[in-house]
Amino acid sequence: MLLLEKLGKICYCYMEDHMCPENCISIWKFCHVVLLHKTKDLAWRFIMSHFEEELSGFIEDDELDVKNETVVYQAVMHWTNYDLQQRRVDFPHVLAKVLTHIRLIRPRLPGAILLAIGGWSGDDPTNGIEAYDYKADRWVNVTNHQERARAYHGSVFLNGFVYCVGGFDGTEHFNSVRRLDLATRTWHEMPPMYHRRCYVSVAVLNGCIYAMGGYNGHIRLNTAEVFDSETNQWSQIPPMNEQRSDANYLHLWRFQWQCLQTAECYNPRTKQWSLIAPMTTRRSGVAVIAYGDYIYAVGGFDGNVRLRSVEAYSPHRNSWRPVASMMDTRSNFGIEVLNGRIFAAGGFNGFSTTYTVEAYDPLMDSWSVVCDMDIFRSALNCCVISGLPNMADYAISRNALPLLDIGMDESDESDVEAI
Question: What length does the chain have?
Answer: 419
Share the mean pLDDT of the chain: 87
User: What one-character-per-residue DSSP string does 139-160 give?
Assistant: EEE---TTSPP-BS-EEEEETT
For 134, 336, 361, 385, 389, the CA distances from 339, given in Å and listed in that order, are: 8, 10, 10, 12, 19
Instruction: Give the CATH fold of the 112-399 domain.
Output: Neuraminidase (2.120.10)
Dist. CA 211–CA 220, nearest whole Å: 14
**Identity of residue 390:** N
Quickly count: other Cβ atoms within 10 Å of residue 338's Cβ.
19
Can you give the pTM of this predicted structure?
Answer: 0.81
Domain locations in the chain as residue ranges:
1-60, 66-106+402-419, 112-399
**99-111, pLDDT tens digit by residue?**
564 445 678 889 9
The string of DSSP codes covering 207-276 is TEEEEE--B-SSSB---EEEEETTTTEEEEEPPPSS---S-EEETTEEE--SS---EEEEETTTTEEEEE
DSSP result, 335-348: EEEETTEEEEE--B
Q: What is the pLDDT along the chain (419 residues), one digit of tens a residue?
A: 677 778 878 888 888 888 888 788 888 888 877 767 788 888 888 877 776 666 777 777 777 777 777 788 888 888 888 888 888 888 887 877 775 644 456 788 899 999 999 999 988 999 999 999 999 999 999 998 889 999 999 999 999 999 999 999 999 999 999 999 999 999 999 999 999 999 998 999 989 999 999 999 999 999 999 999 999 999 999 999 877 776 565 544 444 435 678 888 989 999 999 999 999 999 889 999 999 999 999 999 999 999 999 999 999 999 999 999 999 999 999 999 999 999 999 999 999 999 999 999 999 999 999 999 999 999 999 999 998 889 999 999 988 877 665 554 444 444 544 44
